[in-house]
């Protein structure tokens, strides 16, 4: 997809990976629509990049409802939806706060899925669009203390493959981003629970885990959208694990070749 002049909505845009994504998409000539909980945290970035600001708490379904329409009413149609916002949950599953499972699932899976549901019909009417869902290698590799987080990311990864199945043959591109450790505020919170911290320490010692700068993530995501790639997997050394998890989905695609993927109207 050519990005010059296109409009890209980025959730979780106020810091970390989201901020880097905003810079890189704007650098590719796109117009950015920035979503995060706080307006104040987005204002300076929007001024710098010439983007629009759309405060929304993605854990609140009432704020997610109609969000795409509100963004499109303030700046025009969305050509690329980047579901980047995410929250961590690092604790023994039964010790986590009562509302944590729902909160993590809402932000990491249900809100991205709902935003896709809102955005795709308009993309199809206009002749095409692209969805980027930022997931995690934690969706396929489980460490203690990350039950809720890993389950939400596994759901997002499988959901993205499901979108590809439903809209096969139509001009909707999808990119699933599966990431290992990225030095951000979210990664720093793994120290909150000793079993999780020790698991990461071992993964680093064995060379299974290695940090990837957020700027590298943003560069690879923009390249993937430009070239229509299905996947971004970082660090590269972890890609074989993600490919193994993807294998049953790809096999199903082959088996279903020639089967209609949309009902006749």
Locate tokens 């109609």: which residue? 66
Burial of 224 (0-12, 13-18, 19+ CB in 10 A): buried
pLDDT tens by residue, 29-84: 999 999 999 898 899 999 999 999 999 999 999 999 999 999 999 999 999 999 99
Question: What is the per-residue pLDDT for 192?
Answer: 85
Task: Note the pLDDT of residue 208.
Answer: 85
Using DSSP, state whether 231 is helix, strand or coil: strand
Q: How far is CA 29 from CA 5, 26, 89, 146, 201, in A?
A: 6, 5, 35, 37, 40
Task: Give the SS3 label for residue 162.
Answer: helix
**What does the radius of gyration of the chain's CA atoms come to, in whole angstroms?**
18
As a whole number of angstroms, the distance between CA 40 and CA 35 comes to 11
Strands (E), the chain: 7-11, 31-36, 52-55, 80-83, 129-136, 172-179, 231-234
Q: Is the separation of the CB atoms in 184 and 16 below 8 Å? A: yes
Quickly state the pLDDT bin for 187 (edges 50, 70, 90): confident
User: How confident is residue 265, by pLDDT bands cut at 50, 70 and 90?
Assistant: low
Q: How many CB atoms lie within 10 A of CB 117?
A: 11
* Percent of all residues in the chain with a pLDDT value above 90, rounded to a whole number: 88
Phi, psi of 6, deg, nearest 5: -80, 160
Residue 186 above 80 pLDDT? Answer: no
109 is catalytic: no
- Using alpha carbons, list the distances in angstroms from residue 98 to 93, 102, 103, 142: 10, 9, 10, 22
Dump pLDDT digits (tens) for 95-125: 988 899 999 999 999 999 999 999 999 999 9
CB 16 within 8 A of CB 214: yes
Cα separation, 7 vs 116, in Å, equals: 15
Q: Kindly compute the dihedral angle of the four CA atoms of residues 232, 238, 244, 245, in this order, to the nearest 10 degrees.
A: -60
Strands (E) across 38-108 are located at 52-55, 80-83
The DSSP H or E segment spanning 122 is helix 111-125
The Cα–Cα gap between 35 and 53 comes to 6
pLDDT band for position 184 (cuts 50, 70, 90) = confident
Per annotation, catalytic residue among 109, 149, 193, 204:
149
For the chain, give every domain's residue range.
Answer: 7-253
Residue 148's pLDDT is what? 95
Report the pLDDT value the prediction gives residue 13, as an integer from 0 to 100.
97
- Give me the pLDDT at residue 185, please: 78
In the chain, the percentage of residues whose pLDDT exceeds 70 is: 100
pLDDT mean across residues, the chain: 95
Q: So what's the architecture of 7-253 in CATH?
A: 3-Layer(aba) Sandwich (3.40)
**Local structure of residue 224 (DSSP, 8 states):** H
CA 21 to chain centre: 11
pTM for the model: 0.96
């Amino acid at each position: 997809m050519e990005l010059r002049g296109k409009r890209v909505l980025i959730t979780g845009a106020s810091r970390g990976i989201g901020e880097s994504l905003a810079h890189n998409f704007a650098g590719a000539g796109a117009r950015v629509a920035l979503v995060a909980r706080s307006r104040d945290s987005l204002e300076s970035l929007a001024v710098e990049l010439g983007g629009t600001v759309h405060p929304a708490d993605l854990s609140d379904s009432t704020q997610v409802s109609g969000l795409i329409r509100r963004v499109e009413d303030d700046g025009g149609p969305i050509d690329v939806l980047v579901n980047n916002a995410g929250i961590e949950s690092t604790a023994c599953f039964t010790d986590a706060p009562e509302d944590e499972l729902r909160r993590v699932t809402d932000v990491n899976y249900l809100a991205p899925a709902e935003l896709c549901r809102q955005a795709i019909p308009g993309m199809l009417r206009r002749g095409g669009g692209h969805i980027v869902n930022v997931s995690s290698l934690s969706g396929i590799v489980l460490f203690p203390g990350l039950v809720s987080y890993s389950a939400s990311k596994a759901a997002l990864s499988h959901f993205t493959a499901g979108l590809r199945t439903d809209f096969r043959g139509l001009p909707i591109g999808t990119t699933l981003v599966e990431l290992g450790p990225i030095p951000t505020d979210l990664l720093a919170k793994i120290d909150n629970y000793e079993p999780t911290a020790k698991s990461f320490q071992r993964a680093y010692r064995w060379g299974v885990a290695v940090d990837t700068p957020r700027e590298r993530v943003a560069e690879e995501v923009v390249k993937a959208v430009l070239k229509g790639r299905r996947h971004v997997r970082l660090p590269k050394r972890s890609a074989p694990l993600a490919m193994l998890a993807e294998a049953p989905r790809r096999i199903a695609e082959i088996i279903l070749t020639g089967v209609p993927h949309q009902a006749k109207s």
